Amino acid sequence: MKGNALLKLESFGQSIWMDFIRRGTISSGELKQLIEEDGLVGVTSNPSIFEKAIAGSHDYDDAIRELALEGKNADEIYAALTVEDIQRTADLFRPVYDRFEGTDGFVSLEVSPYLARDTDKTIAEARRLWVAVARPNVMIKVPATLEGLPAIQQLIGEGINVNITLLFGLPRYQQVAEAYIAGLETRAAQGKALKSVASVASFFLSRIDVLLDPTLEKTMARDKSKADLAATLHGEVAIFSAKAAYQIYKEIFDGERFGKLKAQGARTQRLLWASTSTKNPAYSDLKYVEALIGLETVDTIRLETLAAYRHHGKPAARLTHDAAKAYEALGRLGEVGIDLGAVTQQLEDEGIQKFVEAFDRLMNTIEEKRVAAVREPVDAEAVDHNAGNLAGPTLSGKHR
């Protein structure tokens, strides 16, 4: 499409994935159109996305009713709905996956947020989802918790594609990259293929500034000696962190350790920019997209941000600009009373809790719809009986 800024991003080495999934978008052909006209090459999902899709639409009502009448419980219904959506989406992206020889064309499905602090159960759940979806272009999302690190290594070693999520801090990012490499080394030692394994490390952005900006604004207003530094950091800590993460990425994946694996066909674990929608209306709606365009990266964006970039995006490679300034600025956060390590741990904890709450709301919605579906034919029989219908019960368990 002439003039579509989204289509120009591929020339800068960046892939666009969509942070959204819904059955109606798949069925209507809208997702296929985004692939063909906007160059969309992947999709991610999480508990919040599925909660909005299932609880916030009627797209799934008939499927929930059918599964309920088959005797499925809420957990089984959730599993059936999500796996089907992921399979259908993966099939739409399979031509992309084939065209890019396994670099792009992925769709991600997350393990239960309740497992974020349990290594063994995360591994078991990821294995189950991998088998259930049964598509080479699926990624299983595993949180970047301390407990998630050994799970990442184990799953990569088994050849399961992993999207590492809820990643906020630089030291943790380095651990994530090393877990990926260790998993590949396990495969290499066993003589197994490396080229078929893919992974991304999803670095969350806007939430960092949402948390830190109020503190920086207070410093700007109350402490003249630190106001200039606080102003430099205001609204920029997330982007500074991303630029620093990209430098770490280059050091690790251009290094000797990974080089041995690369020679055997291994792929780098690309950085994926997540949480890229702007929360502060004072900032550009493309703030977390425009600043982070660079080679071997992925940007996952919401539909609204995708439409905005299509309309007025200005593609340019900016990710490596001012990398030294980014490191220097992050190193001075302590001067304005900010402990970035504590901040990123808080964001990780809050991120898990938000996903747990979204998952609970989703499961409650499914249970309510399940109960309603099961009760409906029973109520119909009672009405017939009370009306004096002596011909026996109707086939109320069937769809009418």
Q: Give 209-213 contacts, CB < 8 A, sequence gap 24+.
A: 209/235, 209/236, 209/237, 209/238, 209/279, 209/280, 210/279, 210/280, 211/343, 211/346, 211/347, 212/237, 212/338, 212/343, 213/280
In the numeric block, the tokens 């630089």 are attached to: 170
In 10 A of CB 339, how many CB atoms? Answer: 11
Residue-level length of the chain: 400
Instruction: Name the region of 374 (left: φ>0; alpha: ψ -120 to 50; beta: rest).
Output: alpha
Catalytic residue positions?
141
**Residue 76, burial from CB neighbour count under 10 angstroms (0-12, 13-18, 19+):** middle
How far is the C-alpha of 19 from the C-alpha of 356, rounded, in Å? Answer: 18
What count of Cα atoms within 13 Å lies in the side-chain half-sphere of residue 178?
10
How far is the C-alpha of 271 from the C-alpha of 167, rounded, in Å? Answer: 10
What count of Cα atoms within 13 Å lies in the side-chain half-sphere of residue 17?
30
Q: Are strands 106-110 and 42-43 parallel, antiparallel or unpaired?
A: parallel
Closest listed residue to residue 122, CA positions, set 162, 167, 71: 162
